[in-house]
Structure 1
């Protein structure tokens, strides 16, 4: 019996932030497959491509060109095929009201982008270590 590697979709328009997050993921779980997307529109195209397996997790920046993270989250949670995938908001914002709204929309967790690599590794460990699929959807 083979165990399939888990898949993470990271959606962020900042390539440095995206690459730093992917490096942290690989440090924590080297078999994890990381699929990058530059914006929400590209993420939705990837998620709707039936030839690509669905990710186990989606990490979504909030402020991006084309489709914002909020627009992308709304589309994911409205799609029966995608709605159960845990989505984590990863952003420079620390707006409490915004985080509440995103939780009501179905985001699992709201994370402010950390200032150093140690904090990123901690966040990645947190995401990959929790049984998110067992949590009830909002």
Structure 2
């Protein structure tokens, strides 16, 4: 199997954080996941971290600094500008998806309603060679 990925989840919803980390643990307990409650805290964690995550999962609708603001700042000139950012949101309108992709989002995933769907999505993203 591939190396175990490290993840930064930026999402203000505590329930979504718990479901996300539970899905990761279901896939592989060794997956490291840090959590930031908004874009600003996400940038602070990236600034303070010696090692960058392999992937960033980013919600769009958050207080303080939303996902679009985070993308603008990180993709412009941040040390994490090359880390793939996957939008992980309940937003699904075409305009928002296009804006996120234009700002450098790697992919856009609408939060699934079922835990099993989330596990399948995350497994496919984290370990694409094993699909």
- Alignment partners' CA distance in 2, 1:15 and 1:104: 28
Q: CA deviation at 1:129?
A: 2.0
CA RMSD of aligned residues (A): 1.7
| Number of equivalent positions | 128
Residue matched to 1:33: 32
- Alignment partners' CA distance in 2, 1:66 and 1:79: 20
Query: Runs of at least 4 residues of structure 1 off by over 3 A?
Result: none
Per-residue CA deviations over 1:16-50 (Å, capped at 9, x if unaligned) read: 10110111112112211100111111100000114
Residue matched to 2:94: 96
Distance 1:5 1:14, change over 3 A: same
Given the two structures, how large is their TM-score scaled by the length of structure 2? 0.90
- Alignment partners' CA distance in 2, 1:79 and 1:31: 31
- Alignment partners' CA distance in 2, 1:34 and 1:18: 10
Per-residue CA deviations over 1:44-82 (Å, capped at 9, x if unaligned) read: 0000114x4210000000000000000011111112521
Q: CA deviation at 1:126?
A: 2.1
- Alignment partners' CA distance in 1, 2:97 and 2:28: 27
Unaligned residue ranges in structure 1 (runs of 5+): 132-138
Unaligned residue ranges in structure 2 (runs of 5+): none
Given the two structures, how large is their TM-score scaled by the length of structure 1? 0.86
Residue matched to 1:125: 123
Q: CA deviation at 1:4?
A: 6.8
Residue matched to 1:115: 113
Secondary structure of the residue aligned to 1:88 is: strand
Q: CA deviation at 1:101?
A: 1.4
Per-residue CA deviations over 1:79-106 (Å, capped at 9, x if unaligned) read: 2521110000011111112111111111
Residue matched to 1:79: 77
- Alignment partners' CA distance in 2, 1:92 and 1:116: 13
